[in-house]
Amino acid sequence: MSTKTESRQGSSQASSSQTHNNYIGGQWVKARSGETFASNNPADQSDLIGLFALSSAADVKDAVDAAEKAYPAWRRTPAPFRAELLMKAARLLETRKEELAQIMVREMGKVIKEARGDVQEAIDMAYYMAGEGRRLMGATVPSELPNKFAMAVRAPIGVVGVITPWNFPVAIPSWKIFPALVAGNTVVFKPATDTPMCALMLVEVLIEAGFPPGVINFVTGGGGKVGMAIVEDPRVRAISITGSTSVGKQVAGRCGELMKRISCELGGKNAICVMEDADIDLAVDGALWGAFGTAGQRCTASSRIIVHKSRYKEFAEKLVARTKALKLGNGLDADIDVGPVANKSQLESVHNYVEIGKKEGAKLLCGGNILTDGDFSKGFFHEPTVFGDVKPSMRIAQEEIFGPVTVLISAEDFDDAIEIANGTDYGLSLAMYTNDVSRAFTAMQELEAGIVYINAPTIGAEIQLPFGGVKQTGNGHREAGIAGIDQFTEWKAIYVDYSGRLQKAQIDTHGDSPAVKE
Ligand code: NAD
């Protein structure tokens, strides 16, 4: 939906109760086009969350102008002071946690407990990255020459572009924006068009915390126009994007041509392996949560479950019984286990995979339908679905479905399970259920993934460890933990020679002259 609005400058973020603007250079401004787009509740399309600026390259230029102008002063602001603002943001997020969680349920459908967890992740990240303001560790090393000091410090990069998906609409922006800001960068932030309200509320928190004008800029609109304009602007020195592998490849390709730093966190096809010695009930608990939490719309969703052939039947029966008992509905109701998927095209895409699975010869064990009865007809609900007798080469076992669908694969033995788990293009999160300590350690060594769980499902990362994947899940960067700072800093090596004479590295110490002359 698109509507026209009139004057451009707004004194607050909302020019009417439901119309929301971009935030550029410390001002709430309409898109230059004056156009807006709607964000609606995926559980009930008649529930309008708000209208948001449908921005274009011209708005991105304004945002980059502001970020570029703010950068020199922000870069020179001592990091502990930058961190104090982040600490304030953490406390404000705590105050607004419930309000943000409720909006999140309305805007993208995850159930309320998970929405609170999403906001909590941002709170944790704010406190963690605020701590980095008093660390931002560099390195001092001995010089090979006498009377010479050698060190490396972290420097900010400049203006960074942050492009985020809708599935963790507060947590994921926080993983990028908080380390970027504490490291001294200024930010142009474009959230997914499905979750602009959550993103806007996060920006409001940063404004209230006192981040100066131009340090954080917020531009809403589509990926092709707004996202690409951020990528294309030569003054944006780094891009951090989380999204699908296809979009990530497109953005990374362009950044490669522009010689721009790019960090991608992309798709996954995660697996839980369940060995014959595992606690099967524990593994079923994990599989249920891993596969159907957030309606399967997690990059780390357990979308494959690889079970030792001797326990396959028992596991399948238990999982199917538990899946059938899941309660679907509007996530604001505390009794609901699984909410809607995020939008219509997502619903169609998920269901299309169910049809593909049937055609490929997989056995539909439960679910498989779009729900259209009663209140379900107002939103985008898909039954939690389990396929059995799945072959590792089937498309439903290889491609990211990103919905409440999981597949069961039978493994001959431990080595076969590891081979199947590693046998996709992705490498985000893999899990092993076993009570054998040697197998647990072998799995940690052999599973090709950025994240490995033992006796826990593929979801549930904590912010103090690096997050990201190998193979087509990413391009070698990590978010969160200390590694999360690397994305947003440049190393600067500094040598201070206080010998008072010309000293030649690699020559004076290894050539004719002795290292130290008496
Ligand atoms: P998406 O790729 O459609 O969009 C992600 C973001 O990129 C959005 O803001 C979108 O507007 C923008 N975008 C789209 N095209 C663009 C372009 N050409 N140039 C610049 N920006 C562009 O992803 P989505 O549907 O929002 O999210 C789901 C995907 O995200 C899944 O594949 C999921 O696995 C992935 N994801 C990965 C992680 C991770 O950390 N690995 C975490 C969450 C989600």
CA of 226 to the centre of ligand 1 (A): 13
Distance CA 481, CA 420 (A): 30
User: How far, in Å, are 306, 328, 368, 475, 492 from residue 380 at the CA level?
Assistant: 29, 11, 14, 33, 50
Is residue 300 domain-shared with residue 366, that is, in the same domain? yes
Whether residue 141 lies inside any domain: the answer is no
Model pLDDT, residue 7: 40
Is residue 299 domain-shared with residue 395, that is, in the same domain? yes
348: left (phi over 0), alpha (psi -120 to 50) or beta: alpha
Is residue 100 domain-shared with residue 194, that is, in the same domain? yes
Domains in the chain, number: 2
- In degrees, rounded to 5, the angle at the alpha carbon of residue 63 between the alpha carbons of residues 109 and 129 is 60
Is residue 37 domain-shared with residue 168, that is, in the same domain? yes
Nearest CA, atom 35, ligand 1: 243
Is residue 177 domain-shared with residue 82, that is, in the same domain? yes
CA of 247 to the centre of ligand 1 (A): 6
Catalytic residue among 107, 132, 265, 479: 265
Q: Which of 269, 370, 389 is nearest to 320 (CA)?
A: 389
493-518 tens-digit pLDDT: 999 999 999 999 999 977 655 555 54
Atom of ligand 1 nearest to the CA of 246: 2
124 pocket-lining for ligand 1 (C-beta < 6 Å): no
409 pocket-lining for ligand 1 (C-beta < 6 Å): no
Whether residue 512 lies inside any domain: the answer is no
Model pLDDT, residue 17: 66
242 pocket-lining for ligand 1 (C-beta < 6 Å): yes
CA of 314 to the centre of ligand 1 (A): 37
Model pLDDT, residue 515: 52
CA of 473 to the centre of ligand 1 (A): 12
Nearest CA, atom 12, ligand 1: 223
Q: Which of 432, 463, 494 is the last residue of a domain?
A: 463
Is residue 184 domain-shared with residue 261, that is, in the same domain? yes
Model pLDDT, residue 509: 79
220 pocket-lining for ligand 1 (C-beta < 6 Å): no
CA of 244 to the centre of ligand 1 (A): 4
89-121 tens-digit pLDDT: 999 999 999 999 999 999 999 999 999 999 999
114 pocket-lining for ligand 1 (C-beta < 6 Å): no
DSSP 511: S
481 pocket-lining for ligand 1 (C-beta < 6 Å): no
447 pocket-lining for ligand 1 (C-beta < 6 Å): no
Catalytic residue among 198, 255, 264, 299: 299
Whether residue 334 lies inside any domain: the answer is yes
Q: Which residues of 307-335 are buried (b: 16+ CB within 10 A; e: fewer)?
A: bbeebbeebbebbbebbeebebbbbbeee
Q: In which element (H, E) is residue 190 found?
A: strand 186-190
224-239 tens-digit pLDDT: 999 999 999 999 999 9
Is residue 245 domain-shared with residue 280, that is, in the same domain? no
Whether residue 306 lies inside any domain: the answer is yes
As given in the structure block, the two tokens for residue 192 are 């997914």
Is residue 100 domain-shared with residue 40, that is, in the same domain? yes
Model pLDDT, residue 150: 98
406 pocket-lining for ligand 1 (C-beta < 6 Å): no
Residue 265 is among the residues annotated as catalytic for this protein: yes
Maximum separation of any 2 CA atoms in the chain, in Å: 92
Whether residue 286 lies inside any domain: the answer is yes
Model pLDDT, residue 513: 55
Atom of ligand 1 nearest to the CA of 245: 32
CA of 268 to the centre of ligand 1 (A): 12
Model pLDDT, residue 10: 46
Quote the pTM value: 0.95
Is residue 176 domain-shared with residue 318, that is, in the same domain? no
Model pLDDT, residue 381: 98
Whether residue 177 lies inside any domain: the answer is yes
Model pLDDT, residue 67: 98
CA of 108 to the centre of ligand 1 (A): 14
Nearest CA, atom 40, ligand 1: 265
Is residue 254 domain-shared with residue 275, that is, in the same domain? no
Under-70 pLDDT residues of the chain:
1-17, 511-518
CB-based burial label for 157 (10 Å; 0-12, 13-18, 19+):
buried
Whether residue 142 lies inside any domain: the answer is no
Whether residue 455 lies inside any domain: the answer is yes
CATH of the domain at 239: 3.40.605.10
CA of 116 to the centre of ligand 1 (A): 22
Is residue 189 domain-shared with residue 304, that is, in the same domain? no
231 pocket-lining for ligand 1 (C-beta < 6 Å): yes
Residue 98 is among the residues annotated as catalytic for this protein: no
CB-based burial label for 24 (10 Å; 0-12, 13-18, 19+):
buried
Model pLDDT, residue 203: 98
Model pLDDT, residue 457: 98
Is residue 352 domain-shared with residue 247, that is, in the same domain? no
Q: Which of 415, 432, 463 is the last residue of a domain?
A: 463
User: For residue 367, what are the domain limits?
Assistant: 271-463
185 pocket-lining for ligand 1 (C-beta < 6 Å): no
224 pocket-lining for ligand 1 (C-beta < 6 Å): yes
CATH of the domain at 307: 3.40.309.10
